[in-house]
Every structure is written in C-alpha cells, then in structure tokens.
Amino acid sequence: MSKAYLFPGQGSQFVGMGKDLYESNPEAAKYFDEADEILGFSLKEIMFEGPEEKLKQTEFTQPAIFLHSVALFKTLDTNPDMVAGHSLGEFSALVASKAVSFEDALRIVRRRGELMQQAGEQNPGTMAAVIGMDDEAVENVCAEAAEASGKEVIAANYNCPGQLVISGYKEAVEKAVELAKENGARLAKLLPVSGAFHSSLMQPAYDGLKEQLEQLEISEPICPIYSNYTAEATTDTEEIRSNLLNQLLNPVRWTQTLNNMSENGADSFIEMGPGKVLQGLVKRTLKGVEISGHQ
C-alpha cells in the first residue's frame, strides 16, 4: 500500500487545536515548546486558549497549523511514500519529507504569514468560494468579471471537482460571484479572508519572502513532494525552492495534485493536522482509496 500524507492549509484552525496532543504526548510537546522558544512568544497559548480573533490572523494561523501538523507527524515515526500540502501545508510536507528542518520551516512560515497579512493590507482584495461549477466554467466567469471590472480575479484554489476558490480585487470578485450565480453555481459567496491569496496581489509577499527562501537550506527529500504550483512530483531542491515562491502568486492545483498522486500509486491518503478539510476533498476527488486522518 502506497501512503500519501497530506497537510492542511489556512482555514483548518480552531481554538483548542493541539491541546490534547500536547498534554498526552511528550514527543509532540517538545515541538510546541521549541516553537515558543524560536518565535519568542507563546504560539501554543494562542492555539490552546485563543482568542479566536487572534488565531484567525494570518500571521498566527499559518505557524499554528504548521506546528500542529508537524508535531502530529513526528509522533508517527514513519517514512511517507509521497507528500503534499495545501498552500501553507507545503511547508509541513517539506518537513515530513526531511527536505527542510522544523526550525527553518517554522521561521519562514511565520514570516510568510506576516508578509501575506501585510500584502493583504497593501493590496486589499478578497476571495470567494464557488461550488457546483466545473473548472472551465469558473475560469470563464473570472475572465468575464476581470474584463467587466478592469481588475484581476482568478481561480486560486482548485480544491476538488465542483469546488473552487477565486481570488482578486474586491469589485472583480464580487462581479464573478454575481456571474457565477447567473451561470448556475450552487453556491458563490465571499470568504472572510485578509487578502487575495494565490493571486498577483500577493506580489509584496513574494518580494519579501524571496531572499529568505533563497537562503533556506533544502535537502533532497526522502520521497517525492507534490507542489501546489505544478501539481507534479519533484525531489529537485531548486525546483522545490522556486515552487514555494511561485505558489504565492499562482493557484493551488489540489484536484490535479490528488489525481497525480493516485495515478502514481497512492491508495491511502492520510491528513495530518487540525480539521478534516483535506479528507473531504480526497473523498470528492478520488474513488476507491483509503482516507484517514490524525488530529
């Protein structure tokens, strides 16, 4: 059986996340304590106690989900056959595949969260979920809305067949939501996010993270990692580096990633981290595979 480990991204967080793990598993607890030391503030306190408003801020959400996912994975003592992470989850996947150290990845994830939050303030934009339309129909709606508004809106997360997230300037996203409803979407609604992630509005975050990513020490992973940017497997360290950067401005190709993992032999998909979002996406994308998770 070929096992694919999946790591969630932003949106899976909840107050209390990781608390049981911390209290019941000394191995995992070490990572929580080490994270607080590295960051210089108590991330675990925000995770365990909230307030929710604080945990929902991108600069805290991203390291929180990363920490929870990695601490969980480290308790398993297993070598994955392949890994992938949704957006920020790609950093968790890199630690699981031994390409990047926990300490280095945590620092860069913290910086990524700060930069993405700042980019959202610099270039205000938003995102919306569109459900019940195929990929091409959503892409067409985005193209039409962009033309009508003169502003960018793109398909930013290909989550599973019939479930996409679009991203861009507020008026363009609003126009796309309107058009999606007219074109038969089952649901099209704005999401409570702090920026237009995975679009060109994240350019300031790209510029800010570039130098840090160039200096990041990346070793050859012990298994293929599937990149959000290409949806393809790689073990090439320089390709991994450029994919992490390009991911900020480009769509998360999750549907394509899952299909490629399945075609390459994965028949067991295990989600590592808070929530069950990715398990749901696997269920709606692939048939006849084993799906499980650790929280």
- Choose, from 198, 199, 227, 262, the residue flagged as catalytic: 198
How far is 170 from 13, CA to CA, in rounded Å? 24
87 classed as catalytic:
yes
| Those residues with Cβ within 8 angstroms of residue 53's Cβ, 6 or more apart along the chain or in another chain | none
199 classed as catalytic:
no
Q: Do the beta carbons of residue 39 and residue 64 sit within 8 Å?
A: no
- Give me the helix-helix angle, 102-122 and 89-96, nearest 10°: 170
51 prior amide bond cis, ω within 30: yes
Which residues are 128's β-sheet partners? 166, 190
Q: Do the beta carbons of residue 278 and residue 86 sit within 8 Å?
A: yes
Chain centre to alpha carbon of residue 20: 23
How far is 68 from 13, CA to CA, in rounded Å? 9
Cα Rg, the chain, nearest whole Å: 18
| Those residues with Cβ within 8 angstroms of residue 34's Cβ, 6 or more apart along the chain or in another chain | 102, 103
How far is 157 from 198, CA to CA, in rounded Å? 8
- Choose, from 68, 69, 86, 87, the residue flagged as catalytic: 87
Looking at the annotation, which residues are catalytic? 87, 198
